[in-house]
Structure formats: C-alpha cells, structure tokens
Amino acid sequence: MEVITEGVNNLNIAAAAATTDSANNKKNRIQVSNTKKPLFFYVNLAKRYMQQHNEVELSALGMAIATVVTIAEILKNNGLAVEKKIMTSTVDMREETGGRPVPKAKIEILLGKTEKFDELMAAAAAEEAAEAEEQN
C-alpha cells in the first residue's frame, strides 16, 4: 500500500512541475481583453515582446478574439510581424462557482519578427526622437 501512495505522490509532483514549466515557457504570451486596455496598448506591448523574444503569442477568449485578430493584422500590415501559427479551440468556463460550464471560443496567434523588424523599429524610434527634439 505504501508503494502505491508513493507512486501517486510522485505523479502529483511531476504533474505540478509540468504545469509550472509550461507556465514559465510562455513569457512571450499576451492575454488580450477587449475591455481592460486600449487596442494600441497591446500593439505596442507585442512590439516590445517581439524585440525581447523574437516572437509573441496573442491569446484571447470569446468577444476579445476580434481584438487579437486586429492586433495581428496591424502588426502584419506595418511589416513588423509574420504569422507563424494560429490555433483555435473551445474552453469550458464557469460563470459562477457551482454553475454549469459554458463553452468559450479561444484563439492563439503566434507571430514572429519579419526580416525588416529591427530596421522599422529603429526608424520609428528615430522619428519619435526627432519629434521630441522639435517640441523642445
């Protein structure tokens, strides 16, 4: 009986470690809400994440999916990002504790840097610096 208990405890520890590892590997994930922050907050955050990690994963549930698609399209149309992967799924969410699960649509879009990303970001930074100098 002790061997079984020890095996179950080891299984729980391994599952907890795997969960922690997968959470730590997603340092470049942005979970988008369409109510909490303005659209260009997420666009600028995605640019910063791409500078640091070379790619960014945009994730959203339900009504925020349109916001994620818009962010991805802005980055692509400005020549900053290229689509690497799009994943869609449904997730069961509980509205209140004890309530029955409600399926919600989920999207994850993985974007990578384009070859011109660094060049475009440097040009934008130089333009901002010039504007700041004009104001002073």
Number of domains, the chain: 1
Residue-wise pLDDT for 97-112, tens only, equals 778 888 999 999 999 9
How far is residue 27 CA from its own chain's centroid? 9
d(CA 34, CA 42): 10
pTM: 0.75
Q: Is residue 48 part of a domain?
A: yes
Where residue 101 sits, what CATH number does that domain have?
A: 3.30.110.20
Q: What's the maximum distance between 2 C-alpha atoms anywhere in the chain?
A: 78
Residue 77 within any structural domain of the chain:
yes
Q: Is residue 59 part of a domain?
A: yes
Cα–Cα distance measured from residue 65 to residue 25, given in angstroms and rounded to the nearest whole number: 23
What percentage of the chain has pLDDT greater than the value 90? 56
- Whether 42 is covered by a domain: the verdict is yes
Over residues 47-85, the pLDDT tens digits come to 999 999 999 999 999 999 999 999 999 999 999 999 999
Domain around 120: 29-135
Q: What is the pLDDT of residue 96?
A: 78
